[in-house]
Amino acid sequence: MTLSTTIFDPTNAEHLALIPAFADIHIACIETDHTVATFTPPLNRDVIIDWWKAQVADAAGPKRHRIIFMTLVERQLAGYVILHRPLWQTGPFRGVVEKLLVSPDFRRRGIARKLMDKLEEVARIEGQTLLMLDTETGSPAELVYPKLGYTRLGVIPKYGISPLDGSLKDETFFWKQL
């Protein structure tokens, strides 16, 4: 199994051709795991593709507000994560980890760890030494982040709408000093 983790290059035609696959993984995670991840059913693939195009446009901008990392297995997109680099004058050293999603077809192979390792490596180089993230309370991801060295900060109750039943779900926040 050939596995490679790299930064998405918004000028690379092969990478741009993967945008529908980004949307498909996003949809699969919502439908399979009922992940609270921006969208609720009924899911519209075209809307999610457009959302990913906006993320790519942000990554292509001169300030690189977002850096998208992806893992390919045999040239097939297996997972991704975003390092959001907000333009905060009071915190240029802070970064926000967003959308760590791995295709259900490629789980339990260390892909999430590889993505986070690459994200943290680049974050250090870019000067983001404090990373923050959040995930649905009770989700499998909530158990992953402490294993990656993230410290649980706390929970905001009724933070996001469940794609399963429309109920409000709690969100757990984490941080890590690099």
pLDDT greater than 90 at residue 139:
yes
Q: How confident is the model at residue 134 (pLDDT cuts 50, 70, 90)?
A: very high
Beta strands in 12-118 (DSSP E): 66-73, 76-84, 94-102
Domain count, the chain: 1
Between CA 170 and CA 165 the distance in angstroms is: 14
Higher per-residue confidence, 88 vs 105: 105
Q: Which residue would you say has higher pLDDT here, 35 or 171?
A: 171
Q: Which pLDDT band holds residue 145 (cuts at 50, 70, 90)?
A: very high
pLDDT above 90 (res 64): no
Residue 24 lies in a domain: yes
- State residue 8's pLDDT score: 97
Lowest-confidence region among 28-37, 55-64, 93-102, 117-126: 55-64
pLDDT at 76: 96
Q: Are 134 and 171 in contact (CB under 8 A)?
A: yes
Q: Does any domain span residue 42?
A: yes
Residue 1 has pLDDT above 90, yes or no: no
Instruction: Please report whether residue 157 resides in a domain.
Output: no
Instruction: Judge whether 143 lies within some domain.
Output: no
Residue 176 lies in a domain: no
> Does any domain span residue 149?
no
Residues 106-120 have a mean pLDDT of 97
Sequence-distant (≥ 6) Cβ neighbours of residue 6 within 8 angstroms: 69, 70, 72, 118
Q: How would you class 16 by CB atoms within 10 Å of its CB: exposed for 0-12, middle for 13-18, buried for 19 or more?
A: middle
Is residue 114 one of the residues assigned to a domain?
A: yes
Backbone angles phi, psi at 21, to 5 degrees: -70, -35
Percent of the chain with pLDDT over 70: 100
DSSP 3-state of 77:
strand
What's the pLDDT score for residue 54?
95
pLDDT in tens, 27-43: 999 999 999 999 999 99
Is 156 within the bounds of a domain? no
Q: Which domain holds residue 82?
A: 3-128
User: Average pLDDT of the chain?
Assistant: 96
pLDDT mean over 97-106: 98
CATH number of the domain where residue 66 is located: 3.40.630.30
